[in-house]
Amino acid sequence: MRILFIGDVVGKPGRQAVAALVPALRRERDLDLVIANGENSAHGAGFTQTTVTELLESGVDVLTSGDHTWDQKEAYQVIDRERRLIRPLNMAPNVPGRGSTIVNVGDRFSVGVLNLMGRVYMPANDCPFRAGEAEVNRLRQKTNIIFVDMHAEATSEKIALSRFLDGKVSAVVGTHTHVQTADEQILPNGTAYLSDAGMTGPHDSVLGRDVEAVVRRFVTGMPQKLEVATGKVELCGVIIEVDELSGKARKIERLRIPHHTSA
């Protein structure tokens, strides 16, 4: 089984890259499942029904999110309606939505997708280790193939979680920093790991936002309207090959693919 995970999709440029590149990737790389982090898909912060629908219709099977989950006012309704969209499991109890989902892949296999959020330099939430372990144990009653999006700032926290879950899940891939790392590996007990999948969107930017506005904010300390940047766009992500029976990873490959657009 081959799973593509797409790093944080930022605004319209990111959505355009997904629409343009994912259908061909599915064919050319023989992909069985496509997962994307969509928490920045609407104007660079949050998601809307329109952006969720657009990404799903572009060939994405499951959308994860993170600390920007509630940035758009319609998020509460969207996340309750759309079961292919999940938010971090370890948010406060009783918030809308769900923290994991199980997706059928053909007639023979199913994949559990789990979204967690870190606590270091992040908004307050419950322990991702305890919450993640309990949910993984529940998901493993239904499938051995489990993918984890760990949305976190601190690399150490991401690595620690991957070691904590090594052998219990197929992959742990980090999101949130928008900068792709080069530490892809398969851990000793068969879990694929990458600290951050990177960003799908405008790379001639500061984490997807207009360079001049961000620089002014740092230099002056004054509030700035941080528009989504334009120009050079790339799709960043990772393909993970998983043994369908054991759920262990066989191979992990980073992707960074240019997409030419001026929008």
Model confidence at 261, in pLDDT bands (50, 70, 90)?
low
Q: What is the pLDDT of residues 17-30, one digit of tens each?
A: 999 999 999 999 99
Q: What is the pLDDT of residues 209-222, one digit of tens each?
A: 999 999 999 999 99
Q: What is the pLDDT of residues 71-121, one digit of tens each?
A: 999 999 999 999 999 999 999 988 999 999 999 998 889 999 999 999 999
Least confident of 53-57, 197-201, 226-230: 226-230
pLDDT of residue 160: 98
Mean pLDDT calculated for residue range 156-185: 98
Mean residue pLDDT across the chain: 96
pLDDT of residue 260: 78
Listed in sequence order, the DSSP H helices in the chain are 11-28, 49-57, 75-81, 128-139, 155-165, 211-220
How far apart (Å, rounded) are the C-alpha atoms in residues 33 and 106? 10
Q: Which CATH architecture has domain 2-259?
A: 4-Layer Sandwich (3.60)
How far apart (Å, rounded) are the C-alpha atoms in residues 252 and 95? 34
Instruction: Determine the Cα angle at 12 with ends 55 and 254, to 5°.
Output: 65
DSSP secondary structure string for all residues of 92-149: PTT-SS-SEEEEEETTTEEEEEEEEE--TTS-----HHHHHHHHHHHHTTT-S-EEEE
pLDDT of residue 262: 46
Catalytic, 178? Answer no
Does residue 15 or residue 262 have the better pLDDT? Answer: 15
Q: Are strands 33-37 and 2-6 parallel, antiparallel or unpaired?
A: parallel
Answer whether 13's CB lies under 8 Å from 233's CB. Answer: yes
Q: What is the pLDDT of residues 142-155, one digit of tens each?
A: 999 999 999 999 99
Give me the catalytic one of 43, 68, 176, 260: 68
